Amino acid sequence: MLIVGAGGLGTPLAQYLAAAGVGTIGIIDNDEVEESNLQRQVIHGTRDIGRPKVASAKDSIKQINPLVKVETYNMRLTAENAENIISEYDVVADASDNYPTRYLVNDTCALLGKPDVFGAMYQFEGQVSVYYAEHGPCFRCMYPAPPPAGLVPSCAMGGVVGVLPGVIGTLQANEVIKLIVGGGKNLIGRVVAFDAWNLKWRELKIHKNDNCPICGKNRTITEIEDFDYEDFCGLTQQKEEESEVEGIEPKELKRRIDEGDKITIIDVREPHERAIAKFPEAKVIPIGQLERRQKELDDTVDTVFVCKEGKRSILAVNTLREAGYTGPLYNLKGGTNAWAREVDKDFPVY
């Protein structure tokens, strides 16, 4: 099995799978151990500071179980090397911390028919799933478009409670073991989310998206190497300034809905967010599909974009403008959180 990332999530994955006696463990990571990693990446110790993470992880695995064969890749997983590396393994665990890698792992696994045991976390929340395109939805079915670059800080930037990757990575190891030995009830088609601060678990059912570009009926991504993951995730170009986008206040939007005003409301939130609460009168178009589906909008009426905090909706407006759309576009100021504050107290804040 292959572990992508030798950090917080990779730590329990490597430790438990080594202890379980998984025959071959591959680890890919291009980072070196830093002191600030040690609070959560307990596979590394103070003596390892400055060493490549894969080398330090290999030593720890060998200490736990010298019979395990460890393959290390002190490099980034890229569109150029992903197929070669991933094709060597039966099961892949995504323990990375960034969106380009998540899409890359997902797409390569989908094309090669491998399961992608996914884990991710932010501050006090984490989630786990098994994205296995042959048997259920993939990561792209769940998240057709990445969040705008810069909106979701990494663990290094946003911080994470050190125990959380221990919990999430251990759950990933549990899924890997079930996939290897067969049996049990695995997480294909389900996402389990864990809130460490309030100690709450949630489970969401997720479904295959027929329009998924990698596992849907009309696959549009057929070559990993041809896809620019950095660009897709907005890391190579900064979007326009936010200030040029016109906003609409929640109360104003409510008034216009109540008066039956002709207006189009587009919800650009993720499926798991809409599962928490649907926005009234809204049509759903993910940001990644806006350009292609702009003809569904009536450019003679006002279109209002809605997201959680009023930031992705600005990106949505800019995306359409860049695509040449000329009709009037607005974002709901402050998103659904402001809506909950000012208009509908029962609307969930998450």
- Residues lying near Zn ion in the complex (CB under 5 A) are found at 138, 140-141, 212, 215
Name the residue nearer to Zn ion (CB basis): 82 or 338: 82
Q: Which residue has the closest beta carbon to Zn ion? A: 212
Residue 27: phi and psi, rounded to 5, are: -135, 130
Residue 214: phi and psi, rounded to 5, are: -115, -30
Q: Cα(233)–Cα(161) distance, rounded to whole angstroms?
A: 26
Closest approach of Zn ion to the CB of residue 141, in Å:
4
Name the residue nearer to Zn ion (CB basis): 209 or 303: 209
Closest approach of Zn ion to the CB of residue 293, in Å:
18
Element (H, E) at 172: helix 163-181
Name the residue nearer to Zn ion (CB basis): 22 or 138: 138
Name the residue nearer to Zn ion (CB basis): 139 or 194: 139
Do residues 225 and 204 lie in contact, with contact meaning Cβ atoms separated by under 8 Å?
Answer: no
List the structure tokens of 216: 């849907």
For 57, counting Cβ atoms within 10 Å of its Cβ (0-12 exposed, 13-18 middle, 19+ buried), the class is: buried
Closest approach of Zn ion to the CB of residue 97, in Å:
22
Active site residue 138: no
Closest approach of Zn ion to the CB of residue 233, in Å:
17
Give helix 53-64 / helix 10-20 axis angle, nearest 10°: 30
Name the residue nearer to Zn ion (CB basis): 215 or 307: 215
Closest approach of Zn ion to the CB of residue 106, in Å:
8
Residue 286: phi and psi, rounded to 5, are: -65, 150
Q: To the nearest 10°, the Cα dihedral for 38, 44, 50, 55? A: -150
Catalytic residue among 138, 141, 155, 212: 155
Active site residue 109: no
Q: Cα(44)–Cα(49) distance, rounded to whole angstroms?
A: 8
Half-sphere exposure of 95 (CA within 13 A, CB side): 33
Q: Cα(153)–Cα(21) distance, rounded to whole angstroms?
A: 35
The residues annotated with a catalytic role in the active site are 155, 307
